[in-house]
Structure 1
């Protein structure tokens, strides 16, 4: 038998079954993406690659990252001012439909801090307050097959009113850039750090596909990348920490997938409950319309009176609601 530990086997050892699932440690940790672009020179290279510019003075960047903003125990990535542009850069290894909403909250805090730093008050009604131009970029390197560039909008998250009331008064746009190997080639060529990061992550996935555990695949990829001069300075100096970061981010990804699976199971259970309740409400409405009492209805449905009573009371209290509406109300109360 091959002496390599399979990825699935390793995940079982580290994660456990759903019944005995080990909680992810809630110690706040940095992401590898933050470590790679912690220096202003590297961050400026990334900015130039994203925007197609050739700025050279890294000291023109002002780091504005909010250090105590945490998402699933991982620190948010990077925000910085460059000229009059307020940039928010996030990295995602799993597809996240809520990036515009997260960005909206993050920008709100960034603008508040900006006004405080500049000692700008909003009480002067005669002078318009000017604030930096926001740009929100998400770097995606998950396994879902996505195009090079996707724009996500906060307005897509809004519940639409019954009547058309024009455009919403709020918007936040996230530009998602696919940084997997072979995607956004022009941008990747302009930023060596970014292409090296994509290569490193690709190596880990490749070794895992061969059957190595995540930890083994990471250690092998670190050695290989150092030998090839890929992120060599980072991996040589922070090799152990990088390995720990990869394992932690993977744990967080598994945690999100586990929570989504639980949510889907709970949703299916709620759906079944709503379906049963809807049928019961429909029968109670019909029997009550014929003038039958609570006791008679319970007897005909072959249920205890105390089981039928809360449903009967809702039908009596809300005579104009449909069975579906009553079932939703009942499930929420339970």
Structure 2
């Protein structure tokens, strides 16, 4: 008889059993994140039929046009975690300030930061989309956490991961002891373990970058991308380019197949585009736990001391050898 597939719930409970002091809150938190993914995936499947494509006419804190699905995904997180008893504060790329949940305090042990719908420019054309999340522990015994308590280095994350919405819906996460991927079986409504102990190859043959920005990049970045295109069998070049417009989808490709994703700083915008707390830190934790690297070009992402809730940083992420090589070009060592 074939073995029964491992569900997300069973996987979490089994891991929890290895920690006698565990009280079950983290397990419940991950199940709730899985629920958010199911609800967003359902909306995405029906988006073209129930008039939730297109924009809202609003702009977010970053000055970007808000899509209807951005707003729906953000509201889904808020609805699921209200009265959950798990999370005492939520911070989102779509919200200027954190949302505090006094009904979950003081027993709520966690704070959750998230990008509710990554790649939302893809919503109207049925391309891949994602959700990114970062989990922090809240140690406060009295009162609600301040905004400053959410602004922490990536090394302080207790868990991180992403949901990817494509031909299937996947939940990939780490709690600091390896990376596991679960695929949603829509027939039974359960996430099933499909990718256990993911390990990223040391080197890849694929790169992902928005080359429309080529002439905005510093010389070292341009030289690195040019280098990847030169044919040289000894070094496995040329690399193929794969860029979807969805950070989650592109990083997922690198995680499974190797290679490098870049969203570098620009000459006039050295801070880059991606948000450190909502996108970069959680993906960096996942990739590092799988044996990869994540860098700003000059330092390890997870060691960067954040200055603000919506801080932006450049990002090189993927196979360790590829990231190290990109750093050498950007730092003028090649």
TM range (shorter): under 0.3
| TM-score calculated relative to the size of structure 2 | 0.21
Rg larger for: 1
Greater strand content: 2
